[in-house]
Amino acid sequence: MKKRILIMFTVIFTMNIYAQKTHLDYKVHDVGQVRQLVTNMGTLWRAGTDYPGLIYSEFPRGSFEEHIGEGGIWIGAINESTGDTTVSVTTSWNSNFEFYPTAEPWDSIWVVHKNDTVDIPYWHKYVGISDQDFVCRYSDDNLSNIPSHKPLHVEVIQTSYAWASPPLDQMIVYNFYIIPKKVNLRKAYIAYWLDANVGYRGTSWDFALDDYSVYYKDKHMGMGIDNPGGADGNAVSPIAMKIFPPKNILADSIRWTFNWYPGQGMGAPPSDDVLRYKQMAAGVIMEDQQDPIGSQFIIAFGPFNINVGDTLHFQVGEILGHGVNGVLANLKILDWLVQKNFKVPSPPPVPPLRVQTMNHQVILSWKPQDGDVNPETYFDPNRGDSVSQPFEGYRLYKSTQSISGPWTLLGEYDIANDGYGNETGLQHEYVDKGLLNNFEYYYSVTAFSKEDKSINFPSQESSIFANAKTVVPGTEPPQTVGEVAVVPNPYRGDIAYYSYNPPWEKPQITRSTWMEQDRRIQFINLPANCVIKIYSLAGDYIFTINHNNPNKGYEDWNLTSYVGQAVSSGIYLFTVEDLSTKQVQVGKFVIIK
């Protein structure tokens, strides 16, 4: 662990020096039930990017259950020019990061939706396959100052797929295109390295120290499983990685290796390239891990001879589910999906949702208008039946907790008298009344399709999350200052404001526990353009809030000073200066904690 920390520090230090030579990027797959981080360094964890979150692979969505500590490929080969045996590593224990994008601004992670066409400089006319494709590129020779690194001069184009609807929303698919640029690769082996950390992501690392590794030989799938109990309780899902080897190579000629490492000082990937290559090429399937002290493994396959100008293409499926049986059920679906080359029915386009806020109510409208993508007329070439317009209906959802749910179905409206769905009839507007002003509410409208009875594929629903909107009912900003007030007054530390439904206070999205900085008082009846300054009773300056929004008449404050420290109980003064009229209102409020 010390060595790992030292390497990490070295890498981060190096990163800061040579940051101008690479354009790091990250994106999170978030349309389905898996929230998965992807970077353009080829890793499934933050690596050298500035991704601010704590969880890299969350399933079920919003559960704070983590599954990945590290994930990424290794490419080992004999460099035909030099005769060296080297391994280029995206991520691993005992290794530097060796794959980076270029510094070009477009060398980031491209987001492409199903059937959209985009012109990526290294992939012209790329067509989206899934509901959310990510496309990126990295190579092992973009940075020349990586310690102990001998590049193979290999470029990797990576695409990843995520789907919004069952039965595909519990998996991610990764495509890897391995492209030698300068030297031919001899006896190349690919390894997928997964450091599985399965369990509720609390504040310590204990959740990662009770996992174990299992391999399904006939499926070429490794699984990291959480041992029940322990610091992280019982995990909903293990995490599995399945390799789909290159299609144009005889299966018999591929040698497979499954090697797991217990960690905790009892075994880790070697730092030496030759030793690492030997492990990748060993052709040994280790027995499943028995002691649940940590799950880290590689699935390696090869050998391949890849010449300059050739491309080696393989796929990796990341599979989650409810328990091992859930993963195995999803694996069947994934196999079928890959066999069909991902040509499966898709959900309708996301409906155009328009929201109008009023005093204590919200009007939601989703009737397609000119210029909108119309889900009611979409055509799906991948259906097995002959239905030319597979749109069936809409569903309206509401949440009072967060834009990630949990969602309550407010209404379902489908085409009447067509033999599918509930025959409720279509509707395009909904008025939600009796709401609290200045509280956040969340709404989403989805469109769903008819089920495909020919291939027995369920109705597909567009992503709730892709269309989710935050709505705050309330009144228009007043003309100027004079009626500005503070809510709640007095602010009472004995009331659990976070237990309101909808909550008045809530933890930041990256946490599940309320903390001092989540406190909230609100200045209401603010004019459109004003500055609020908060002072202690004696006139010490505490904080400034700038407000410039003609549609919103309030601002929040979390009871911390401009140095980020919690303020004490007592009487506070505030001024609100209307920047349009220069009028100033002076007021007061009380905080009790």
Query: Could you say whether residue 562 binds another protein (CB under 8 A)?
Result: yes
Burial of 168 (0-12, 13-18, 19+ CB in 10 A): buried
Question: DSSP states of 49-65 as a string?
Answer: S----S-SEESSTTS-E
Answer yes or no: are the C-beta atoms of 436 and 323 closer than 8 Å. no
CB of 386 to another protein, least distance (A): 55
Query: Could you say whether residue 494 binds another protein (CB under 8 A)?
Result: yes
CA–CA distance, 103 with 560 (Å, rounded to integer): 39
Stretch that binds another protein, among 259-267, 380-388, 391-399, 529-537 (CB under 8 A): 529-537
CB of 48 to another protein, least distance (A): 35
Phi and psi dihedrals of 124, rounded to 5?
Answer: -70, 140
**x/- map, 434-463, another protein, by CB under 8 A:** --xxxx------------------------
Closer to another protein by Cβ: residue 286 or 436? 436
Stretch that binds another protein, among 175-183, 340-348, 378-386, 564-572 (CB under 8 A): 564-572
Stretch that binds another protein, among 102-110, 123-131, 297-305, 537-545 (CB under 8 A): 537-545
**x/- map, 10-49, another protein, by CB under 8 A:** ----------------------------------------
What number of residues does the chain have?
593
Query: Could you say whether residue 592 binds another protein (CB under 8 A)?
Result: yes
| Residue 503 host element (H or E) | none
**Which residue in the set 206, 310, 423, 540 belongs to the binding site for another protein (CB under 8 A)?**
540
CB of 370 to another protein, least distance (A): 39
Q: Which of 351, 428, 416, 345 is nearest to 379 (CA)?
A: 345
**Which residue in the set 522, 526, 527, 557 belongs to the binding site for another protein (CB under 8 A)?**
522
| Complete edge-to-edge strand list for the sheet that includes strand 361-365 | 354-358, 361-365, 429-432
Query: Could you say whether residue 499 binds another protein (CB under 8 A)?
Result: no
Stretch that binds another protein, among 8-16, 183-191, 270-278, 583-591 (CB under 8 A): 583-591
3-state secondary structure 223-287: EEEECCCCCCCCCCCCEEEEEECCCCCCHHHCEEEEEEECCCCCCCCCCCHHHHHHHHCCCCECC
Closer to another protein by Cβ: residue 283 or 587? 587
**Which residue in the set 166, 202, 283, 488 belongs to the binding site for another protein (CB under 8 A)?**
488
CA–CA distance, 183 with 328 (Å, rounded to integer): 40
**Which residue in the set 542, 547, 553, 578 belongs to the binding site for another protein (CB under 8 A)?**
542
Query: Could you say whether residue 400 binds another protein (CB under 8 A)?
Result: no
Residue 235's CB: how many other CB atoms inside 10 A?
25
Give me the sign of the Cα torsion angle 258, 259, 262, 268.
Answer: negative
Question: DSSP states of 23-82 as a string?
Answer: ---EEEE-SSS-EEEEETTS-SS-TTS----S-SEESSTTS-EEEEEEEEEEEEEEETTT
Answer yes or no: are the C-beta atoms of 326 and 187 closer than 8 Å. no
Query: Could you say whether residue 515 binds another protein (CB under 8 A)?
Result: no
CA–CA distance, 133 with 522 (Å, rounded to integer): 40
Query: Could you say whether residue 401 binds another protein (CB under 8 A)?
Result: no
Coil, strand or helix at 136: strand
Query: Could you say whether residue 487 binds another protein (CB under 8 A)?
Result: yes
Closer to another protein by Cβ: residue 244 or 574? 574
Query: Could you say whether residue 498 binds another protein (CB under 8 A)?
Result: no
Closer to another protein by Cβ: residue 382 or 561? 561
Please name the residue that has the structure tokens 């949440």: 399
**Which residue in the set 537, 548, 550, 556 belongs to the binding site for another protein (CB under 8 A)?**
537
Query: Could you say whether residue 115 binds another protein (CB under 8 A)?
Result: no
Stretch that binds another protein, among 71-79, 378-386, 450-458, 479-487 (CB under 8 A): 479-487
Phi and psi dihedrals of 518, rounded to 5?
Answer: -90, 0
Question: DSSP states of 211-224 as a string?
Answer: EEEEEEGGGTEEEE
Stretch that binds another protein, among 130-138, 279-287, 343-351, 532-540 (CB under 8 A): 532-540
Query: Could you say whether residue 567 binds another protein (CB under 8 A)?
Result: yes
CA–CA distance, 284 with 547 (Å, rounded to integer): 64
**Which residue in the set 536, 549, 558, 579 belongs to the binding site for another protein (CB under 8 A)?**
536
- Residue 226, C-beta contacts closer than 8 angstroms, at least 6 positions apart: 198, 199, 210, 211, 232, 234, 235, 238, 292
Binding footprint of another protein, residue count (CB under 8 A): 49
Query: Could you say whether residue 504 binds another protein (CB under 8 A)?
Result: yes
Stretch that binds another protein, among 23-31, 32-40, 175-183, 581-589 (CB under 8 A): 581-589
Closer to another protein by Cβ: residue 361 or 561? 561
Query: Could you say whether residue 286 binds another protein (CB under 8 A)?
Result: no
Closer to another protein by Cβ: residue 366 or 504? 504
**Which residue in the set 496, 566, 580, 581 belongs to the binding site for another protein (CB under 8 A)?**
566
Closer to another protein by Cβ: residue 102 or 438? 438
Closer to another protein by Cβ: residue 48 or 527? 527
Q: Which of 337, 77, 66 is nearest to 200 (CA)?
A: 66
Stretch that binds another protein, among 59-67, 302-310, 330-338, 567-575 (CB under 8 A): 567-575
CA–CA distance, 489 with 475 (Å, rounded to integer): 20
- HSE-up (13 A, CA, CB side) for residue 377: 6
Please give the angle made by the CA atoms of 542, 545 and 547, to the nearest 5 degrees: 165
**Which residue in the set 19, 493, 499, 550 belongs to the binding site for another protein (CB under 8 A)?**
493
Query: Could you say whether residue 464 binds another protein (CB under 8 A)?
Result: no
Eight-class DSSP state of 350: P
Closer to another protein by Cβ: residue 508 or 569? 569
Stretch that binds another protein, among 87-95, 120-128, 144-152, 573-581 (CB under 8 A): 573-581
| Residue 325 host element (H or E) | helix 323-339
**Which residue in the set 266, 343, 541, 551 belongs to the binding site for another protein (CB under 8 A)?**
541
Eight-class DSSP state of 289: P
Give me the sign of the Cα torsion angle 486, 489, 494, 499.
Answer: negative
Residue ranges in contact with another protein by CB under 8 A? 436-439, 485-490, 492-494, 497, 500, 504, 522, 524, 533, 535-542, 561-563, 565-573, 575, 577, 584, 586-590, 592-593
